[in-house]
Amino acid sequence: MSAPSRLKRESSLGEEVAQRPEGPPSDAPSRPKRESSLGEEVAQRPEGPPSAAPSRLKRESSPGEEAAAPHAGLRVARDGKVTELTLDRPRQRNSLSASLVAGLAQALADCASDGTRLVVLRGAPEAFCSGFDLGGLASETDDTLLARFVRVEQLLQQLVVAPFTTVAYAEGPAMGAGADLFAACDYRYAADGTRFAFPGAGFGLVLGSRRLALQVGGDTAQRWITSGERLDVDEAASAGLVTARLALDAWPDCLARHRRQASRLDDDTHARIARATRLGAEPAALDSDLAALVASAARPGLKARIEAYVQAGRQTAGPRG
């Protein structure tokens, strides 16, 4: 078979990358077309329905061993009281499929009860997380999309109220829900070349907006959200979204410092300090965040708005020169 031609992805949604053409939606191709939403245009392999109940992740107690994770696209590794969660969907640029969101939620729930003091969140090489995966948009409905967005918000709230310290390290795009995932962590490091964007308002979604405003200020958050502009590390760091710019070769020392810090206090004190020092973690605030998301996503026509947003991005991108 001859090599397929390469098609341009929407530049307004993130990086420009190659994709393979696909057949009709009913053909169930092995590499479905990438779709765009909160982040970049992304792809996914066929997976189970979003409503499927997540199975529990098998955790390994041996230092440095990687745990088996039945949820597609997630690697879980525990070393002592440190658990590393790696989004591992490189061909989809680590976009948040329903299965990956369920896997992350279960992993965080496990960490809350197994003595974990430090959770490290990373993405497979070349991306942190390109956003909400809409590879199966054709088969979605307003209701299934609403349910998936609610699960993303619930995942973000797990990070906000976690009894352990959370550290994110981004090496590549963190877009849409991926940027919200990054922002929800206590310490947020980014390598040179990492970019951020919060484009969900382009199809009427309110997700993580109040939390972002607490981090970077209301004026800056409003500008980033309403424009959907892409941000480099310097701008993100100066505003407070990024804790510090960090080269890959400096990451091991940074992680070692956080490991020492996380082991200094007893479990109960560490959990209380983690929760007490986070802005916006009050139950009423979290309920308000969820209500704002539901009100925005429950408006009739969510799927149509997303489809229009994706199409507008394709027209803006134009053909590859």
Q: What is the pLDDT of residues 2-32, one digit of tens each?
A: 444 333 343 333 333 333 333 333 344 444 4
Task: Tell me which residue of 141, 130, 145, 175 sits closest to 34, measured CA to CA.
Answer: 130
Query: Can you tell me whether residue 196 is helix, strand or coil?
Result: strand
The CATH superfamily holding the domain 33-250+261-308 is 2-enoyl-CoA Hydratase; Chain A, domain 1 (3.90.226.10)
pLDDT score for 27: 42
Cα–Cα distance, 178 to 198 (Å, whole number): 9
Q: Which amino acid is at 65?
A: E
Q: Which amino acid is at 221?
A: A
pLDDT score for 70: 55
Cα–Cα distance, 160 to 164 (Å, whole number): 10
Which stretches of the chain drop beneath a pLDDT of 50? 1-38, 41-63, 68-69, 320-321
Between strands 187-190 and 244-245, the pairing is parallel
pLDDT score for 185: 98
Whole-number percent of the chain with pLDDT over 90: 69
The conformation of residue 139, written as its DSSP 8-state character, comes to G
Cα torsion for 307, 310, 312, 314, to the nearest 10°? -130
pLDDT score for 17: 35
Task: Tell me which residue of 66, 246, 272, 260 sits closest to 161, measured CA to CA.
Answer: 272
Share the mean pLDDT of the chain.
83
Q: Record the tokens describing residue 118, joined without a space.
A: 């430090």
- Contact yes or no for 228/187 (Cβ under 8 A): no
Cα–Cα distance, 159 to 118 (Å, whole number): 12
DSSP H or E segment with residue 291: helix 283-297
pLDDT score for 51: 36
pLDDT score for 41: 38
pLDDT score for 39: 57
Q: 227 — phi, psi (to 5°)? A: -85, -30
pLDDT score for 72: 74
